[in-house]
Amino acid sequence: MPEPRVRFCPAPSGWLHVGGARTALYNWLHARNGNGAFVFRIEDTDAERATDESMQGMVAAMRWLGLEWDEGPEVEGPYGPYQQSQRGPLYSAAAAALLQRGDVYDAYETPEELEAERDAAVQQGRPPGYAGGHRNLTQEQRDAFVAEGRRPVLRVRTPDDGVVTFTDAVRGEVTFEWKDIPDFVIERADGTHTYYLANAVDDLAMGINLIARGEDLLSATPRQLLLYELLLRDGLLDRVLADNAYPGRPSDAVLPTFAHLPLLVGEDRKPLSKRHGSVAVDEFRRQGILPEVLVNFLALCGWSYDATTEKMTVDELVERFSFDRVNRNAAFFDTAKLRSMNGDRIKELPDAELAERLQPYFRDEGLVPDLLTPPQQTLLLGLAGLLRERIQTLAEAVPLAAPYFLDDVVWDDKAVAKHLKGRAGEVLDAVGPVLSDVDWDGEAIEGALRALAERMELGVGKVMQPVRVAVAGTAVSTPLPQTLALLDRSLVLERIAAAKEKVAG
């Protein structure tokens, strides 16, 4: 049995969806488990939708997840190029060879005629697929259509009867009846090529031997199996590759098998989409989900793992993964569980690593420069230990710690109205001298503030909160005494003095 050669081939017309990321992950795990190759192929034959920006975004998202590829964009491989837009001549040559042999035919219907045909089929209760009207045109009929200025599409002749059966690595034996599968287009009227042809040619040419993809593409499988048969018959594809100076297929190439993965669904059990909230990998990155957590979580979405814990490293996932443990039923994308797993992982990070991972989020908000100053490094390192227990995502750390990186306090009006009133003025008057003399460490500061509260016959919160609002501008922050100890004493005293003007009478 040859080593695994798998592929992930997204269309670069948007961002990388978490469903696509899971597909990429399962392919990657299978390849790594079998010491095989993971091919990242860009399906950009639809020039109207594909964008370079989207492709670069997908490349960045894959690298952020740690799903490095063996062949693909920016990684040379023996069967490139790996952008389908750069392989058009190969598809054209394959289509021409199929046409010459009679496996495909020219169909000249206009879009309007096809739409009318579909409408009539629906009204008559028939399947709305192509009825094969141009299957057997005479040369005279073809010439007449050409004279009208019509440009044909190329359609594959599907069998009129019988069945196609294949064994799916997830779903077991699957059967389709050919009568339910109409002739399908492989080359459009403008000369561009459809998913069916481009992927069939590339899968065979690149030696892909397992195709894992979403179950929404299950109905496309009979078409691809038919194209595999037609392309391999009498060595047609090998001749096309040789004649067009493309690399020949691997010597141990075999027909691909399929693994159709269950869809990801939201709480309403409908396919995951924007209505459920975040669905893009990059959005989870912006929220502060750790890449190793998202990988761990996605692996569990539809896979029955053999382990005593849900928390697994990438190496453990590689060791344990197999398609025979992938479920057939839809997988629930539990955002609350993802956040919980992320919070647990954050708690495990050493202070230095957490501070390093937090830095981009503070930088993106303009709170720190690309290169932190030594005082900023020290402050962020100290805050990391205080933030750990209070956040589930990295982005949640920013509002909690931002006040200490700002030159001036940004006042939260609600916090001011609630906590800088009544005896708050007395507290701020008294706390300044207390903090001027105390040893500058968290334990000593906390003891001094509690002693002040006792002397003033106030609850501890009645002292802590006015000080917190004075220094941070908000009533929510990291633990006050330990945070104050990280700041310069003079800065704390200046902010307390300035806050007195905010105290309501």
Residues 316 and 454 in one domain: no
CATH code at 13?
3.40.50.620
Domain limits for position 465: 408-505
Q: How many CA atoms lie within 13 A of 290 on its CB side?
A: 24
Residues 316 and 423 in one domain: no
Please check the confidence at residue 467 and state whether its pLDDT lies above 80.
Answer: yes
Rounded to whole angstroms, the Cα distance separating 128 from 124 reads 10
Placement of tokens 């299978």 in the chain: 30
Rounded to whole angstroms, the Cα distance separating 365 from 477 reads 17
Specify the number of domains making up the chain. 3
Which pLDDT score is estimated for 148? 95
Give a yes or no: residue 378 inside a domain: no
Q: Is 274 a catalytic residue?
A: yes
Please check the confidence at residue 277 and state whether its pLDDT lies above 90.
Answer: no
Q: End of a domain among 283, 300, 335?
A: 335
In this prediction, what percent of the chain has a pLDDT beyond 90? Answer: 89
The backbone torsions φ and ψ at residue 246, rounded to the nearest 5 degrees and listed phi first, read -95, 150
Which pLDDT score is estimated for 1? 65
Residues 159 and 219 in one domain: yes
Lowest mean pLDDT among 305-314, 404-413, 431-440: 305-314
Q: End of a domain among 309, 335, 361?
A: 335
* Side chain identity at residue 19, one-letter code: G
CATH code at 425?
1.10.10.350
Please check the confidence at residue 429 and state whether its pLDDT lies above 80.
Answer: yes
pTM of the full predicted structure? 0.93
pLDDT tens, residue by residue, 87-143: 999 999 999 999 999 999 999 999 999 999 999 988 888 888 898 899 999 999 999
pLDDT tens, residue by residue, 183-235: 999 999 999 999 999 999 999 999 999 999 999 999 999 999 999 999 999 99
Give a yes or no: residue 399 inside a domain: no
- Choose, from 179, 270, 274, 347, the residue flagged as catalytic: 274
∠ CA 61-316-215 to the nearest 5 degrees?
A: 55
Rounded to whole angstroms, the Cα distance separating 295 from 66 reads 9
Q: End of a domain among 281, 306, 335?
A: 335
CATH code at 141?
3.90.800.10
Residues 63 and 140 in one domain: no
Residues 139 and 203 in one domain: yes
Give a yes or no: residue 179 inside a domain: yes
Residues 483 and 472 in one domain: yes
DSSP string of 180-239, one letter each residue: GS--EEEE-TTS-B-HHHHHHHHHHHTT--EEEEEGGGGGGHHHHHHHHHHHHGGGHHHH
